[in-house]
Structures are given as C-alpha cells and as structure tokens.
Amino acid sequence: MKILVPIKRVVDYNVKVRPLSDNSNVDLNNVKMAVNPFCEIAVEEAVRLKESGTATEIIAVTVGTSASQEQLRTALALGCDRAILIESEENPEPLVIAKALAKIFEEENPDLIILGKQAIDGDNNQTGQMLSAILDLPQATFASKLVIEGQTANVTREIDGGLQTIKVNLPAIVTTDLRLNEPRYASLPNIMKAKKKELATKNINDLGIDTSARTEIISVELPPQREAGIKVESVDELIDKLKNEAKAI
C-alpha cells in the first residue's frame, strides 16, 4: 500500500503572530517555521502503517516556495521514503492546493492520502475535503483512530457530540485530529539519512490547473484586546464580585 502525505510549512505553534504595521498581512519576518502539527500526526500515522507492514511506501508532498524543502526533509527524517515539492508562490489557496495534490494523486496512484485536519496558520480546515471532492473519493475527516482492513478503512472521527465511526473504501482521504497519535522526534542518524533521500521538484504552473486566487486579503488586524482584570484574595470575594459587580451568577 502506497500512502501520500501532504504537509504544510507554517509558523511554529508557539509564535504569537502579529499584523504588519501597515495591516496588509501578518508579519512573518524572522519567525520560526515548522511542519504543521496536524501534518506531523499524518506523517506519524503513515510511518506506523509502514512499520506494521501495512504500507510499503510513503511520499511526502508540499505546495510552497523552495523554503518548504526544509519541512519535506523533516518528513523524510521521520520516515517518509521520498518527497515532492510543488513550487508555487507563497500561500496558495486550499482550492489550488487541492487541485495540485489531485495531479500528484493521478501520477502516483496512492491507496491512502493522510492530511492534517487544519493548517494552524489560516485555520481553514478545507484541503482534504476539497481533494476528496475533486478526486470523487470518500473522506474521513478529524480521525482519532484508523484501522485498515483489506480494501477499506475504519475511521473513528472526533465530532462535536462525541465520536463517530465510518467505513470508507480505499483509496480514501483521511484528515488527522490531535489524538490520532503522538508524533516521534527525528533522530540524528535519521536526519542524516534523510539528506540522501529523493526530493523531486515540480512547478505548479506545469500541472495544467487553474491557479488563480479567488480571494484577497484586504487587511489584517489584532482582535479587540481584553483588559486584564483584577486578582481577588478569597473565594468569598470572588463570589461577591460575580454576584454584585459582574452580575454573572
């Protein structure tokens, strides 16, 4: 079984992102970049499927600038076999990314595509579902458990009310939720080995897809800031404030 894992280079989750001073976009100058945490979970799941003998090959793919090679190398160090960079401008829209990924699907014919449920920069939560639509494949989003059984996958999904299990025919699209697994760290020998693994590059303009942007960012601002409140000294004071000042209870 062959697995395709689309990953994204994003700002590290510990960074508190701010707008540029002219409010035209977010300020990403000199901030630490990383593999999107949900994509790390996707890579980990694929690697575990390979370790258990279910998968034979894992291909990491990203759409982005040449800087994204760094994140592809990380994916290779974590256990992916080869990688594909689809070079594009900074931050294409999810619809464009899904169309590009669909082309890679057609070339590679994987049995399973595992994506993150959400990239923590744009918080869009779209790409996997869009890719499923374009390829007319079943989707199992927000997965917290994945079991492959022959030509089907049983996937437990985290939904608002609790958990839902569905069965999808392969090839299928799975998107990861936080509790699917706990990703490993890359070991130094594996980081060294990853440097020798194949990393192919394509240009998004050669894929024959419509790459035009449908949306534009008009401005980026800070949200209204909360004023820090007060510290109360005791439970009695807290109850008094909630009753008489905030009238919240």
Ligand X SMILES: Cc1cc2nc3c(=O)[nH]c(=O)nc-3n(C[C@H](O)[C@H](O)[C@H](O)COP(=O)(O)OP(=O)(O)OC[C@H]3O[C@@H](n4cnc5c(N)ncnc54)[C@H](O)[C@@H]3O)c2cc1C
Ligand Y SMILES: Nc1ncnc2c1ncn2[C@@H]1O[C@H](COP(=O)(O)O)[C@@H](O)[C@H]1O
CA distance 154 to 199: 32
Q: For residues 55-84, which are near another protein according to CB under 8 A?
A: none
Cβ nearer to another protein, comparing 129 with 190: 129
Q: What CA–CA distances, in Å, run from 184 to 40, 73, 123, 146, 221?
A: 9, 15, 24, 18, 36
Q: For residues 22-51, which are near ligand Y according to CB under 6 A?
A: 36, 38-39, 42
Q: For residue 13, state whether it binds ligand X (rule: CB under 6 A).
A: yes
Cβ nearer to ligand Y, comparing 79 with 116: 116
> Which x/- pattern over 118-147 shows residues binding ligand X (rule: CB under 6 A)?
--x---------------------------
User: Minimum CB separation from ligand X for residue 37, in Å?
Assistant: 4
Looking at 3, 5, 37, 61, which residue binds ligand X (CB under 6 A)?
Answer: 37
Q: What CA–CA distances, in Å, run from 192 to 40, 81, 187, 195?
A: 19, 14, 9, 6
Q: For residue 181, state whether it binds ligand Y (rule: CB under 6 A).
A: no
CA distance 116 to 175: 5
CA distance 107 to 165: 30
In degrees and rounded to multiples of 5, residue 35 shows phi and psi of -75, 135
Alpha carbon of residue 53 to chain centroid: 25
User: Minimum CB separation from ligand X for residue 185, in Å?
Assistant: 15
CA distance 167 to 205: 36
Report whether 43 contacts 181 (CB < 8 A): no
Among ligand X, another protein, ligand Y, none, the one that 219 touches (CB under a kind-dependent 5 to 8 A) is another protein
Binding span for another protein by CB under 8 A among 73-81, 129-137, 184-192, 195-203:
129-137
Q: Which residues bind ligand Y (CB under 6 A)?
A: 6-8, 36, 38-39, 42, 62-64, 94, 97, 115-116, 118-119, 122, 124-128
